[in-house]
Amino acid sequence: MGSAATANKSVMGGEAPPPPAGPPVVDPTAPGLTPECFGIGGSDTKPGARAARPAETPAAPARPAAAPERGSGTDMGSVRRPFNTELDICPIDDRGRPGPTWSAKARELSRGELVFFSRRMCYPGAHKIVLIHLIDSTPVAVYGVIDTSEYEGDGLYRVEMSLRPMPPDRRLHEWIEARRGRVHVS
């Protein structure tokens, strides 16, 4: 039998090849491993010094995190509250300019999110200015980024938007002032 027959024997279920020589291979992405485990050191260690190994603890079985329910208000620990009012939605283009405005209806509000229903679909990641029309008050302008947009039926999309600080762009502030007179910007 030649070397080809020996190779086929090991591939076809014969004797397994010996393990590779050298130190064992460690997967750096394994749970529970930190840079300190590899002697890279944390903020307490001196350059070139090896960090102490962490105490050996049995690894708990990995459990997938439960996905938050829709409308659970998981942003920044706040709860979504019912919020029914008229909105004017304005997209912001790639150059930071306001685009055409359309109407929508707010449904929920929290400290960091606004949920509204719109006849137009909004792409996730798109930036928008929203004018919130309150009763007997000037509209309040808020700025945000679309998280999700799902078709609900009857021609309406349910849109979830994360609220962000208003950019200090002169064009946006001029547009807000021209659109509704004196608008409170938050």
Which DSSP letter does residue 46 get?
A: P
pLDDT score of 177 = 86
Task: Say how far apart CA 45 and CA 67 lie, in whole Å.
Answer: 38
Mean pLDDT, range 174-183, rounded to an integer: 74
- For residues 32 and 121, membership in a common domain is answered with no
Residue 100, in any domain of the structure: yes
Tens of pLDDT along 2-40? 555 554 454 555 565 665 554 444 444 444 434 443 343
Partners of residue 130 on adjacent β-strands: 89, 142
Distance between start and end Cα atoms, the chain: 82
Residue 75, in any domain of the structure: no
Query: Which range marks the domain in which residue 31 is found?
Result: 24-55
Residue 66, in any domain of the structure: no
Retrieve residue 87's tokens. Answer: 């909105």
Partners of residue 117 on adjacent β-strands: 105, 158
Structure confidence at residue 146 as a pLDDT band (50, 70, 90): very high
Tens of pLDDT along 65-89? 444 444 444 445 578 899 999 999 9
pLDDT score of 138 = 82
166-184-126 Cα angle (round to 5): 35
Count of CB atoms within 10 A of residue 144's CB? Answer: 21
* DSSP secondary structure string for all residues of 85-105: EEEEEEEE-TTS-B---EEEE
- For residues 44 and 100, membership in a common domain is answered with no
- For residues 36 and 94, membership in a common domain is answered with no
3-state DSSP assignment of residue 80: coil
Structure confidence at residue 104 as a pLDDT band (50, 70, 90): very high
- For residues 84 and 51, membership in a common domain is answered with no
Beta strands in the chain (DSSP E): 81-92, 102-109, 113-118, 127-133, 140-153, 156-164, 184-185
Q: What φ, ψ does residue 117 adopt, rounded to 5°?
A: -105, 135
- For residues 45 and 132, membership in a common domain is answered with no
Strands 81-92 and 102-109: antiparallel
**Domain count along the chain:** 2
Are the beta carbons of 151 and 167 closer than 8 angstroms?
no
